[in-house]
Amino acid sequence: MSQSQTLPLKRHQDENPRDDDSSDIKPSRLKISLPSEDSDKKILIKRVKDVEICVPIVYGTIAFFLGRKASESQSHKWTVYVRGASNEDLSAVVKRVVFQLHPSFNNPTRVVESPPFEISECGWGEFEIAITLFFHSDACEKQLDLYHHLKLYPEDESGPQNTKRPVVIESYNEVVFPEPSEAFLARVQNHPAVVVPRLPDGLNLPSPVPVEPMNDKERGDTKDHPLNHWFLNFSEADELLKLAAARQQVQAHIVKLRRQLTLMEGLPQSKQPSG
């Protein structure tokens, strides 16, 4: 994997005509890096430092018990998927998703090239599914691997399973692109599925180039997904609250201990066993 190199700004002036007042861009903001696998082309990609693109995703499984239609080998119908955390379209970032199922399945390597990125299957067993995300070339050449354990049977084994209530296991995660390329940033900076921080002033991005065939036959978001009422809600507010409360407690305790320590520090030296 090739490392990034910093080159002087002047080198690529010709590629991006800039005005005079944007010459105050600090040279350190832009970096040149070589794509990892393009050894023969050696295209220089301009990356933006200190800006990190974050794509919140949720991935998981929903499993329905088939009830009367269940058989020995097919007792549950389940779906494994990757969606945007707010149900937005991920296809702007994700080129394709590969789900690696248990080898007992036919064609266990399932490739999904367009949203919704999901696979539905019938089966009876629980196993670990490997989910690999491939991104568009301007975003990242490298893939990202995630793992999810398929759960078919509910936690509390109270009575027969309900065909109406599925077992839903979802995980929240964020895909982070630490130094996105200018092209990528330009393309997605206003996309709802992507979280882009406030861009530094004076950053001049090229005009966005739409990436490989856009899927306009269907919507890529999951806002009207048939299963979307089972989707879990992930709000950071609860977690933040709990964390803040915990931190407060710990801080208070620390203060107390510090006080005690300083008190103690003054004592033993002066104390002499007297009469």
Phi–psi pair at 54, nearest 5 degrees: -125, 130
Q: 12, 26, 142, 165: which one contacts another protein (CB under 8 A)?
A: 142
148 binds another protein (CB under 8 A): yes
**Shorter beta-carbon distance to another protein: residue 146 or 203:** 146
Please name the residue ranges forming H helices in 83-219.
Answer: 182-188
145 binds another protein (CB under 8 A): yes
Among 141, 163, 206, 227, binds another protein (CB under 8 A): 141
Interface stretch with another protein, choices 5-13, 62-70, 112-120, 127-135 (CB under 8 A): 127-135
- Which listed residue (15, 38, 128, 218) binds another protein by CB under 8 A? 128
Burial of 248 (0-12, 13-18, 19+ CB in 10 A): exposed
Q: Smallest distance, Å, CB 185 to another protein? A: 14
In the numeric block, which tokens belong to residue 162? Answer: 């309900």
Binding map of another protein across residues 227-266, x = CB under 8 A, - = no contact: -------xxx-xxx-xxxxxx-xxxxxx-xxx-xx-xxx-
> What are the DSSP E strand ranges found in the chain?
4-5, 30-33, 45-48, 53-65, 76-84, 94-100, 109-112, 117-123, 128-135, 144-149, 167-177
Residue pair 77/119 in contact (Cβ under 8 Å)? The answer is no
Helices marked H in the chain: 182-188, 236-266
Q: How far is the CB of 165 from another protein (least distance, A)?
A: 17
Question: Which residues lie near another protein (CB under 8 A)?
Answer: 1, 3-4, 36, 54, 56, 60, 128, 132, 135, 139-149, 151, 169-179, 234-236, 238-240, 242-247, 249-254, 256-258, 260-261, 263-265, 267-268, 270-271, 273-275
